[in-house]
Structure 1
Amino acid sequence: MGKEFIVTKTITEINKKIKAGKAVVLDAQEMTKLVRTEGKVKAAKKVDVVATGTFSPMCSSGLLFNIGQRPPTIKTSRVWLNGVPCFAGLAAVDSYLGATEPSEDDPLNKVYPGTFKYGGAHVIEDLVRGKSVHLKAEAYGTDCYPRTRLERDITLNDLRDAVLLNPRNGYQNYNCAVNSTDKVKYTYMGPLKSHFGNANFATAGALSPLFNDPYFKTIGLGTRIFLGGGVGYVLGPGTQHVPDPQRNERGIPLTGAGTLMVKGDLKQMKPEFLRGVSIVGYGVSMAIGLGIPIPILNEDMAWYTGVGDENIHMPIVDYGYDYPRANGNILKHATFAELKSGFVDINGKRVPTVPVTSHTKSLEVARMLKQWIQEGSFLLTEPQEPIPAW
């Protein structure tokens, strides 16, 4: 027999309460406090939705766009936006701009190899800010697409379609990066000083979406989300999704685990939740605001969303020796609460910790999503296909 719950709700019932302005919505930080003080059953009775949020660099992101046609028509084979190469091997005027693609003539890279001032993420941010970017396209010419060259300045409104299409966002747990060698290591987690000079960590802890639904019981294909300041959707598991990792007693993975593939209309988004990032010695990334509503269907979901920073154990990995090896050594696990405190003990040394994720912006994402739900402008959706958790 399946498990019987004291409290049971459906997404349809919760949506009716949202429409009527009667739904009780908490952000993930508030839910943690409630579950601690009143327990999961009372919390499940009181709360309908928990709003989660994160704002962190998410390299596996990009823009799928269509520039539209003007006679004479063109089938683009090479495309650049503000000097950043795009992939044009799609239909006639469809292209994809990767967030981490650097500009071809970035002067900073000539002085500091591997460092770029501008790339795909910055182009996306510029478009969302309403700025003009320079489009350049080349083609080989055909009978039906005779044009061979196109150059003009465009804005986001000039694009026929602009879809933020991200293959891997919202990692469920991630490494805390350190470096034990004699030299500074330049990584996607930021510069790592020698001899354990710093420990850089990501994720938003108890606010983070996939820590609040560790087994993907409410998140799947079609889940409506907050993405970049607009509305987006989950398309399914992201690339590098690990469905059956080692977990602690609360179901929290002990290593990098679940990921999400997501999409949203770039024309709805806001620049404060989509920011181009330049990482010294590594390249370009994009910081993205991602928020997911977790419906409290039963006391189990109340328990999961009651996760605290002390329940999240993050692996500390030596990027000086063990990365990019596939199976690098985990030096130890530290709780997110420890890392958030500003220092962590590694081999008896008090190491300063550096967050790569913004806790302030992550909370802002969760609170904005909470507000949308309370106002009735954001309804929940039923997953149309589950994401594998094991």
Structure 2
Amino acid sequence: MKSIEQINEKISSGKAVVLTAEEIIDYVDEKGLEQAAKEVDVVTTATFGPMCSSGCFINLGHSKPKMRITEAWLDDVSAYAGVAAVDLFLGATQLQANDPANRDYPGDFRFGGGHVMEKLVAGEEVQLFALSYGTDEYPLKELRTTLTINDLNQCIMVNPRNCYQNYNVAVNTSDKPIHTYLGYLKPHMKNCGYSSAGQLSPLLNDPFYRTIGVGTRVWLAGAQGHVYSEGTQHSPTCERGLLGVPSEGAGTLALTGDMKKMLPEFVRGVSLKGYGISLSVGVGIPIPILDEQMLLQTTIRDRDIMAQVIDYASDYPQRNGRVLGSVSYEELKSGSISLDGQKIEAGGLSSYSKARKIAALLQDEIKTGRFLLTQPIAPLPVEQSMKPLKESSL
């Protein structure tokens, strides 16, 4: 057994052995589980892909005269102003007002909150337009200005749901093409869409949340952030396969970090035709190797991680979707899968190359003592199921 404190001492002294979730597989094959568990201190995991449930809190600072903002737009994207006088929340999926792209196809938007967040992290100017009703204390009623992230007091990414533990593979059994958040799906199951880093993905390497919990320090788009809660729709009570890996979405994480310290490469606005706007975010999470069992969990391979194939044509809009089968991430990453004797083209929305880069960047930060591990202050729930919306006739 090792403790996080002992591992941090090795990190601070430059003696920690840190491998990525890719590297650890061959290392354990070569050294054996027992010996590798003694030698390895940390395994780095990562993912990069669209994470719709994301956004940021912004503090603008006070104007002269002061203003109690009640409505605000950043580059014509509405930001929520019901917090305090000059605090705003910008959601990643919020749409730009009067976006003309919607003429071509329902949900075909080109710009939104995710793109504004990308511009802010990149240091680009955005335009602020704000309105108010005016009071004795806050008399200003209208404001127009341009600003960059350096002009803000705070710009804090606050993401209620990131890093889905696993996810669906989407297909279309109908005779017409459909547009989904997993991409364009051709009729008659000619292709499928998925989004996961597979064997590099954080929660697939810690399936029962032994080391990832509330307070865990994470690499969030280059900044040192942390887990502030289980994510929304966290639903770990499900069927599990090899090493406890779930076959469904299961766990999620709520993450936060300082956008002023983030890297533009890992905060990218996304436009998904027929769905809307999202934000691709890069996340890296270190797994401390406390014992042999913890190490064993991090040796999970793409070939052993199964995902459910769901028909998004008719079943998914009505309920969770009919499961047509299961496929491994090794199959998905090969570019095609086989289902019921049919070869199906596979395309992923997540970037494995960027996930690999994040895992390596985090590895370097830990090795050089710039990133220390944290003991969670509370565990993530392990028995919880997502409920559907309660609907009643009015």
TM beyond 0.5: yes
| Partner residue, 2:214 | 221
SS at match of 2:238: coil
| Partner residue, 2:270 | 277
Does residue 294 (structure 1) correspond to residue 287 (structure 2)? The answer is yes
| Partner residue, 2:241 | 248
| Partner residue, 1:183 | 176
What's the offset of the Cα at 1:11? 0.4
| Partner residue, 1:267 | 260
Does residue 192 (structure 1) correspond to residue 179 (structure 2)? The answer is no
| Partner residue, 2:229 | 236
| Partner residue, 1:128 | 121
What's the offset of the Cα at 1:183? 1.0
Preserved CA contact (<8 Å) 1:41 1:302:
no
Deviations 1:244-303 (A, max 9, x none): 211013100011100000000000001100101111111111111001000000001100
What's the offset of the Cα at 1:339? 1.0
Does residue 354 (structure 1) correspond to residue 347 (structure 2)? The answer is yes
Instruction: State the distance in 2 between where 1:280 and 1:241 align.
Output: 27
Instruction: State the distance in 2 between where 1:21 and 1:170 align.
Output: 30
The unaligned stretches of length 5 or more in structure 1 are 1-7
Deviations 1:70-120 (A, max 9, x none): 221111111100000111111111111110111012221223331111110
Instruction: State the distance in 1 between where 2:23 and 2:111 align.
Output: 38
Aligned match of 1:16 in 9, 18, 22? 9
Does residue 148 (structure 1) correspond to residue 144 (structure 2)? The answer is no
Instruction: State the distance in 2 between where 1:39 and 1:364 align.
Output: 26
User: Which structure 2 residues correspond to residues 105-116 of structure 1 after superposition, within 5 A?
Assistant: 105-116=98-109
SS at match of 1:214: coil
Deviations 1:45-78 (A, max 9, x none): 1100001010010000001111110221111111
The unaligned stretches of length 5 or more in structure 2 are 384-394
Q: Give 1:170's aligned amino acid.
A: C
Structure 1 residues 106-115 or 67-76, which shifts more?
106-115
Preserved CA contact (<8 Å) 1:52 1:207:
yes
SS at match of 2:127: strand
Deviations 1:120-153 (A, max 9, x none): 0000111111110000100111221111111100
| Partner residue, 1:5 | none
Computed over aligned residues only, the root mean square deviation of the Cα atoms, in angstroms, reads 1.0
Structure 1 residues 31-40 or 312-321, which shifts more?
31-40
Structure 1 residues 104-113 or 196-205, which shifts more?
104-113
What's the offset of the Cα at 1:335? 0.8
SS at match of 1:52: strand
Does residue 329 (structure 1) correspond to residue 322 (structure 2)? The answer is yes
Q: Give 1:187's aligned amino acid.
A: T
Structure 1 residues 103-112 or 179-188, which shifts more?
103-112
Deviations 1:352-372 (A, max 9, x none): 100111010000010000000
What's the offset of the Cα at 1:19? 0.4
Q: Give 1:146's aligned amino acid.
A: P
Count of aligned pairs:
383
SS at match of 1:56: strand
SS at match of 1:323: helix
| Partner residue, 1:63 | 56
Aligned match of 2:362 in 364, 369, 386? 369
Instruction: State the distance in 2 between where 1:321 and 1:174 align.
Output: 18
Instruction: State the distance in 2 between where 1:31 and 1:302 align.
Output: 9
Preserved CA contact (<8 Å) 1:250 1:311:
no
| Partner residue, 2:338 | 345
SS at match of 2:356: helix
